[in-house]
Amino acid sequence: MTFEIPATIKFYLDSWLENAGIVGLCRIVGDDVTKENQEISIPITSLDNFSEKYFNFFASRQRYGRLTRYQDIIDFKNILARWQENDFNDFNEKKLTVLNEWYTNTLKYSVKSNSYKKVYKLIANDFDVIKALKPIDSLLKKLNRKNFLTKNLQEAHSVLMELTEELIKIIGYFDREDSKRYFPAKTLCYMVINNAWNGVSLLNPQTKIPDFYNDYQQYFVDPVKEYLAADHKKDKFVCSTCGRPIKSQKLSYSFLTGMGYDTARKTSNAWSFNNDQFICPICQLLYSCVSAGFNYNLSKQGVFVNYNHSVNELVKANDGIIQTIFTEMRQHGSVSPFRALTMSFANQLNQKQNYDLADVQVINYDNNHYHFTIIPPLAAKVISKSLKVSFGKDGGQNLLTVLYNTGIQNFRGINYYSIYDEVMRRLFNSTNLFSLIYEMETMLNAQSTNIKFNSLHIMALININTIFFKELTEQEGKEKMEVQKNDLSKMRGAGMNVLKYYSDNENEKKASTLAYKLLQAINSNNPEKFMAIILSVYASQSKIVPSNLINNIGQPDVFKQYALAFVAGLIGTVKKGDE
């Protein structure tokens, strides 16, 4: 017996997982979504060809599609056209390097990848793209001979003409409408979609349906229509998420990353070996949209801000983050979720002065694991104020933006340790930056080759740390810490003057030794030892010790800020001539 299918389906804000699915649904369905305060409704007609809308969201040039190798293949057509228009007259070794890198790392890599091989049979064209690489390999081999471009101009011109024609044929194959539909979407199944769920439907290695559009529609969408058309009066079970009645315990959370387990093979995970965590087809469809609701880069990292004041605010907050990710990745190649979060926060703050991240839940996804944080009011205030402090050589940046590209290669078992991300983690955990600043100054003093920061970046951290302590003391009702940015700059200048004194006397190694001793005193929380060393240095140079050190020796946190600023100047570089 079938019943009349309702005109709309409603979804309500709940936990972060359901909310991420709701944001995903809003992005996929678009203008057909009706948003109210704490709920959305979508017309049942939006389920028709839902898989088209689903994959179009990911593969669109305005979304993840523009970040794929597929798009790099298509875009290279413009470069080839420019070379042709100029009759290859300005083609040189530098352009040959560009061509080689694109061919090897983008075109050839993609053509021979497993994901692309699965798509070839879905394209209505007999062109053998793998076979088409062979003549290109031969032509490039000729071009890459030593001095071939300069000593054999006529032959090189002929090779370039032939090579370009062959490449345009391959690009033309990828520029077809069916190619645009399948190739980027298939790539993003393994780069983005499988971050939130895996092992079923198109992400099941044993799937029998070759067209992944049809696979998704049949597995996630058609069961919803069947469910809505069925009679549920005699159903014995209920959905663990929404409470809707269900006939059988067939669907579970097991397909979600980090959320469930194999209910058939791991029954011991359930109470008394009897699992009762099952869901309805409607919630299963919602959870499949979590991939669209999260904000990912292409390095298996993502972030979701559970700003659940209302559906509109939730969508707006996350749309700002994902747009920042797309823009930054297109311009710079990569962006961390923490950076995207704060950049988006800064943009929102400029538009709406009362926009606040305090007490908002942030879910960070990193390599198949979720990490949960409630942003404390302290961190929200520090971030907000740091964004308003101009910094850098021309004052065009702030305390946070100046740290965007700072990091350490191969540090603590991590390929690239981002200073910016570490600052955000510490602030989110209400932890000061003293130990991080100490490590950075120690590495800079040792002239480590794997670091990507200088003393100016360290000064930015010291200023952020100062704001942190000011807000912390105010929050705890204590006397507010008074450390001014100008005073910190003067302390850095004092350190630079000592460095210049040693440099003028051709004894820069003594400055490094001094910095090491001062850092040891700071690390052991011994201001008296620090001052004893400083007094000795200034006495030998017949100069007056900076008053900020003398006046604050009884305030350990204040003293440490000035001491670290002094060392930042001491381990910097000496300006010579007109620098």
Quick: pLDDT tens for 152-208. 788 888 999 999 999 999 999 999 999 999 999 999 999 999 999 999 999 999 999
CA end-to-end distance (rounded Å), the chain: 85
Partners of residue 372 on adjacent β-strands: 363
Partners of residue 306 on adjacent β-strands: 361
CB count within 10 Å of CB 135 equals: 12
Write the pLDDT tens digit of every residue in 139-160: 999 998 888 887 878 888 899 9
At 579 the pLDDT is 39
At 577 the pLDDT is 42
Contact 388, 378 (CB under 8 A): no
Better-predicted residue by pLDDT, 69 or 574: 69
- Tell me which residue of 192, 224, 200 sits closest to 293, measured CA to CA: 192
φ/ψ (deg, to 5) at 362: -115, 125
Q: Which two tokens stand for residue 9?
A: 């389906």
φ/ψ (deg, to 5) at 162: -65, -40
Q: Quick one: average pLDDT of 274-297? A: 90
Confidence band of 270 (pLDDT split at 50, 70, 90): very low
Q: Order of strands, edge to edge, in the sheet holding 39-43?
A: 8-12, 39-43, 34-35
What's the CA gap between 266 and 523, in Å, rounded? 50
Q: Specify the range with the lowest mean pLDDT, choosing from 266-270, 392-396, 562-566.
A: 266-270
Confidence band of 475 (pLDDT split at 50, 70, 90): confident
Q: Quick one: average pLDDT of 58-75? A: 93
User: Which of 291-295, 391-395, 541-545 has the highest mean predicted lDDT (pLDDT)?
Assistant: 291-295
At 524 the pLDDT is 92
- Tell me which residue of 341, 551, 497 sits closest to 425, measured CA to CA: 341
pLDDT of 1 > 70? The answer is no
Confidence band of 82 (pLDDT split at 50, 70, 90): very high
Q: Which residue has the tokens 């308003």?
A: 388
Our measurement of the distance from residue 473's CA atom to the centroid of its chain's CA atoms, rounded to an integer in Å, reads 32
- Tell me which residue of 476, 336, 481 sits closest to 417, measured CA to CA: 336
What's the CA gap between 388 and 400, in Å, rounded? 9
CB count within 10 Å of CB 61 equals: 13
Q: Quick one: average pLDDT of 11-16? A: 95
Confidence band of 18 (pLDDT split at 50, 70, 90): very high
What's the CA gap between 363 and 368, in Å, rounded? 12
Confidence band of 115 (pLDDT split at 50, 70, 90): very high
What's the CA gap between 64 and 192, in Å, rounded? 8
At 454 the pLDDT is 92
At 490 the pLDDT is 92
φ/ψ (deg, to 5) at 153: -60, -45
Q: Which two tokens stand for residue 225?
A: 């229509």
At 260 the pLDDT is 60
Q: How long is the chain?
A: 579
What's the CA gap between 308 and 38, in Å, rounded? 8
At 352 the pLDDT is 63
Contact 459, 568 (CB under 8 A): yes
pLDDT of 578 > 50? The answer is no
Give me the chain's average pLDDT, please: 89
Contacts 24+ apart (CB under 8 A), 477-482: 481/555, 481/557, 481/558, 482/558
Parallel, antiparallel or unpaired: strands 397-398 and 390-391: antiparallel
What's the CA gap between 314 and 306, in Å, rounded? 7
Partners of residue 373 on adjacent β-strands: 362
At 269 the pLDDT is 47
Q: Quick one: average pLDDT of 228-254? A: 90
Write the pLDDT tens digit of every residue in 327-356: 888 877 778 888 888 888 887 766 665 567
Amino acid (one-letter) located at 483: V
What's the CA gap between 294 and 304, in Å, rounded? 5
User: With the C-alpha atoms ordered 119, 121, 126, 129, is the resulting torsion angle positive or negative?
Assistant: positive
Q: Quick one: average pLDDT of 242-246? A: 92
At 355 the pLDDT is 63
Percent with pLDDT over 90 in the chain: 62
User: Which of 219-223, 250-254, 347-351 has the highest mean predicted lDDT (pLDDT)?
Assistant: 219-223
